[in-house]
Structure 1
Amino acid sequence: MDGGSVRGGANQKHSNITLKTCREGNGLSVQGAQWLKGIVTVQVRGGQPERLVNLALAGGLQLSSIRWTSRGLLEFELSVGDFFELRPYLKQTGCRVHVTKRKGLPFLMVKAERRMFFTGGIALFFAIIFLLSSLVWSVDVQGNVKLTEDQIRQAARQEGLYPMQWSFRLADADVLSKELVKRLPGSSWVGVEKKGTKVIIRVAEQTIPDDAPLQNPRHLVASADAVVTEIIADAGRPVVKKNTKVKKGQTLISGMIGGEENSRIVVATGKVRGLVWYEFDIESPLVQHAKVYTGEKHTKWYAVIGSRALQLTGYGKDPYESSETIAHEEKASWRSWSLPIGRMKETIMETRMEERTLTEDEAKSVGILQAKADLLVKAGPDSVIRKEIVLHEKAENGKVYMKVLFEVEQSIVQEMPLVQMQGD
């Protein structure tokens, strides 16, 4: 019946019998029954098409949608069973029929059978996606300071929350939060949030004030030779004034207050800043080496499933002697769901070491900048470089040699325990 035609026997003369129409029957019920059996649309060619229709209707065949096409051909619909019963009438009228359209359940089943593997593959793909999205692939812990991540993960595991667990087996987020607070001493609140295949545990820990350390009576003394630029005594008695030159170890704020008869010892506290001098010997090479990118690059693609990556392209050894690799990962997502599958791109960029020859002034600036960075680390984060003086400089053997004096304003406080001697 596919694409073919059924032809009657001997041709007969054209009949002038009036074309009849088929009865509608029970309407939708008849059409539904025919759809289950299968319906074909045929075009009649040659012979006596009007007589063919009348004979078929008289013989009990059910024809519908009888019409003339724009090409002057008679067209009608009938069931698959009636199509095969049409052969005797074709022989009587000398007509041929050509199937132009097929519809109904039998034809759908044939198409489904032909596309069975394709349909099955689609169904399997969505089933795998559904199963993968129903798993917890990762558990992230945020907000913990005193509680370790292992403690929190262990408590979550005891409540059934861990990677590769089915989402539908987890308790409600509110229930998990309450149970985790019970299992984590020191936590005041625990929030559980599920985002696709990832679960985030946020912890708010109890704030317990630290016990203030016990302090012994003390003086505050100078940590280096300096000129005092600022002195503020919060507790104790200031001994020196602003613009006073002090030696290392000299008392700045005394822990003894009061007169000789009514004196007592306290914990001296306060702020003292002063100008301190540092001398640096600097060596700065005239030839600097720096890493630069050549512009050449090589790309590798990976398929990512969970925490594993399968390389797809870019096999073989890296073509560059020196290179730097940058990785960029993209996860598949659907609405607010983040799926555990995706892709990763690795870009391998070629690099080379490039030499740059500096002038003496440039090498001098580079050396001084490096010395300042080292000085600020040594003097403390609140220190300020006020002045720099180059005492000596020379260039030889491909380097610039300098002796530089830096004037730095910094904290010059150092604690010294104070022990009161008691007589008998």
Structure 2
Amino acid sequence: MNGTWLQWLNGIVTIHVKGQSTEVLVNRALAGGLQLWSIRRTSGGELVCDVTVKDFFRLRPLLKETSCRLRVQSRRGLPFWLVKLERRLFFGAGLVLFFAGMYLLSSLVWTIDVKGNVKISEEQIMQVAKQEGLYPFQWSFRLPDTDVLSKRLTQKLPGAAWVGVEKQGTRITIQVVEMTKPESKPLLSPRNLVASTDAVVTDIMADSGRPVVKRNMRVKKGDILISGVLGDEARSRTVVAKGTVKGLVWHEYTIVSPLERTMKVYTGEKATSWYAVVGDRALKVSGFGKPPYAKYETIRHFEQASWRTWNLPFGRMKETVMEVHIDNRAVSVEEAKAAGILQARADLLAKAGPSASIRSENILHEKTDNGKVYMKVLFEVEQSIVKEEALVHMQGE
């Protein structure tokens, strides 16, 4: 049998007894009041039995008298269980503290993101949210329901049509939908539309006012394109001239393009460092020292810790330092010319406006000197040639 509960409280030891007088040992032990049970023999002739811890120490004199030896096979009972528990006490306490800390950290609001705001400043939104108890490092269980927070923020934020609050772990997202108000158009004075540069008119469309020029007409800078004066000398009225006028304009560019290109090449050598990240702070834990390369590029990758659907406020960051080499590569004259013209086209279209288009280009002059290609290029561009001119200014003249 396994022993009674009282024997389990005192502690039970299973022993193997070896010797010539094992029966004598058992008889003397039982006669002396020692508790031995589950007595049996093994195939090797050893005697196996269970004994309480107290009686185990009382067996020593009998072992000497009978010249027997024993070894302990197993221990069980309350005393041995308490010893194991004491050894694992610190581990268990640390485990409990770890999970308690995880729960407390995940119950805090670490990050608040504001999205959708254009006219309403983020500072104003965060100030109103703080009045409602929503701010970083606040306990999430102290916050009102997200629907309640949404209604209160919508009421307190002027210019907000709707405010949504979404909670994802330790992160809170405030989504703002602002009211759309019709833009108040400024009052315009009567005006003409005049040419902003010399050009040949290719297209004219008047929304209001009187067109003065036609297609294929050559105009000079300052010529009236769409007049804001309607009627004749006897009966006339002024309006705000509106419309679009496009024309062909010629731009002369001086282009200098080098015959050597500087390129950045990765050598394949790299060094890695790791950081422990808590909140907005990072602590370097490996890869100490300065990068061993003369020229390098740094790439950082952050891995945030998560538990289920919650993003925890800590993680790790990998920093990779990659060695780079600056390579100077010679290019042909044709490649240098193409690169220079391409850069000039991009610059010209950026200045001429989004509706402009290059009709043609003509290289007027070209030479190669001191490792560079020099060109003078004439571009023909179709672009808007409209400029506003107030009628009051003209009348004043």
- SS of equivalent to 1:371: helix
Per-residue deviation, residues 292-321 of structure 1 (Å, max 9, x unmatched): 322222221111111111111122222222
The answer (yes or no) to whether the contact 1:57–1:63 under 8 Å persists in 2 is no
Closer/same/farther in 2, CA of residues 58 and 357 from structure 1, 3 Å limit:
same
Give the one of 393, 402, 412 matched to 2:375: 402
Structure 1 stretch displaced more, 316-325 or 388-397: 316-325
Query: Paired residue for 1:272?
Result: 245
Structure 1 stretch displaced more, 239-248 or 412-421: 412-421
Query: Paired residue for 2:166?
Result: 193
1:164 is the counterpart of 2:137: yes
1:105 is the counterpart of 2:107: no
1:315 is the counterpart of 2:288: yes
Query: Paired residue for 1:52?
Result: 26
Q: Using the alignment, how far apart are the partners of 2:394 and 2:249 within structure 1?
A: 34
Letter in 1 for 2:320: T
Closer/same/farther in 2, CA of residues 421 and 167 from structure 1, 3 Å limit:
closer
| Structure 1 runs not aligned, ≥5 long | 1-21
Give the one of 63, 68, 71 matched to 2:37: 63
Query: Paired residue for 1:131?
Result: 104
Letter in 2 for 1:203: V
Give the one of 324, 333, 336 matched to 1:351: 324
State the shift of 1:413 in Å: 1.7
Q: Using the alignment, how far apart are the partners of 1:44 and 1:117 within structure 2?
A: 37
Query: Paired residue for 1:338?
Result: 311
Query: Paired residue for 1:5?
Result: none
Query: Paired residue for 1:361?
Result: 334
Q: Using the alignment, how far apart are the partners of 2:8 and 2:214 within structure 1?
A: 108
Q: Using the alignment, how far apart are the partners of 1:385 and 1:38 within structure 2?
A: 99
Give the one of 265, 274, 298 matched to 1:325: 298
Closer/same/farther in 2, CA of residues 49 and 391 from structure 1, 3 Å limit:
farther
1:7-406 alignment, distance < 5 Å: 30-31=4-5, 33-46=6-19, 47-48=21-22, 52=26, 56=30, 61=35, 63=37, 73=46, 75-77=48-50, 79-81=52-54, 83-84=56-57, 96-258=69-231, 261-406=234-379
State the shift of 1:226 in Å: 1.8
Q: Using the alignment, how far apart are the partners of 2:218 and 2:27 within structure 1?
A: 127
Structure 1 stretch displaced more, 271-280 or 261-270: 261-270
- SS of equivalent to 1:419: helix
State the shift of 1:258 in Å: 4.0
Per-residue deviation, residues 138-196 of structure 1 (Å, max 9, x unmatched): 22111111111111111122222222222222222222222222332111222222222
The answer (yes or no) to whether the contact 1:52–1:90 under 8 Å persists in 2 is no
Letter in 2 for 1:215: L
The answer (yes or no) to whether the contact 2:305–2:314 under 8 Å persists in 1 is yes
Structure 1 stretch displaced more, 216-225 or 250-259: 250-259
Structure 1 stretch displaced more, 286-295 or 186-195: 286-295
The answer (yes or no) to whether the contact 1:217–1:418 under 8 Å persists in 2 is yes
The answer (yes or no) to whether the contact 2:273–2:318 under 8 Å persists in 1 is yes
Q: Using the alignment, how far apart are the partners of 2:133 and 2:36 within structure 1?
A: 66
Q: Using the alignment, how far apart are the partners of 2:52 and 2:40 within structure 1?
A: 17
CA RMSD for the aligned pairs? 3.1
Closer/same/farther in 2, CA of residues 62 and 74 from structure 1, 3 Å limit:
closer
The answer (yes or no) to whether the contact 2:25–2:63 under 8 Å persists in 1 is no
Q: Using the alignment, how far apart are the partners of 2:270 and 2:122 within structure 1?
A: 39
Structure 1 stretch displaced more, 127-136 or 327-336: 127-136
Structure 1 stretch displaced more, 100-109 or 331-340: 100-109
Query: Paired residue for 1:416?
Result: 389
The answer (yes or no) to whether the contact 1:155–1:180 under 8 Å persists in 2 is yes
Q: Using the alignment, how far apart are the partners of 1:393 and 1:307 within structure 2?
A: 57
Closer/same/farther in 2, CA of residues 231 and 71 from structure 1, 3 Å limit:
farther
Q: Using the alignment, how far apart are the partners of 1:330 and 1:298 within structure 2?
A: 18
Q: Using the alignment, how far apart are the partners of 1:217 and 1:370 within structure 2?
A: 40
Q: Using the alignment, how far apart are the partners of 1:224 and 1:421 within structure 2?
A: 19
Per-residue deviation, residues 304-348 of structure 1 (Å, max 9, x unmatched): 111111111122222222222111111111111111111111111
Letter in 2 for 1:417: A
TM-score (norm 1): 0.82
The answer (yes or no) to whether the contact 2:36–2:49 under 8 Å persists in 1 is no
Q: What is the total number of aligned residue pairs between the two structures?
A: 394
Q: What is the percent sequence identity of the aligned residues?
A: 60
Q: Using the alignment, how far apart are the partners of 1:133 and 1:73 within structure 2?
A: 60
The answer (yes or no) to whether the contact 1:282–1:404 under 8 Å persists in 2 is yes
Letter in 2 for 1:290: M
State the shift of 1:396 in Å: 1.2
- SS of equivalent to 1:312: strand
Q: Using the alignment, how far apart are the partners of 2:36 and 2:113 within structure 1?
A: 69
State the shift of 1:372 in Å: 1.1
Per-residue deviation, residues 5-26 of structure 1 (Å, max 9, x unmatched): xxxxxxxxxxxxxxxxx6x99x
Letter in 1 for 2:280: S
Q: Using the alignment, how far apart are the partners of 2:43 and 2:200 within structure 1?
A: 112
Closer/same/farther in 2, CA of residues 284 and 73 from structure 1, 3 Å limit:
same
Q: Using the alignment, how far apart are the partners of 1:190 and 1:54 within structure 2?
A: 89
TM-score (norm 2): 0.87
Closer/same/farther in 2, CA of residues 105 and 222 from structure 1, 3 Å limit:
farther
- SS of equivalent to 2:291: coil
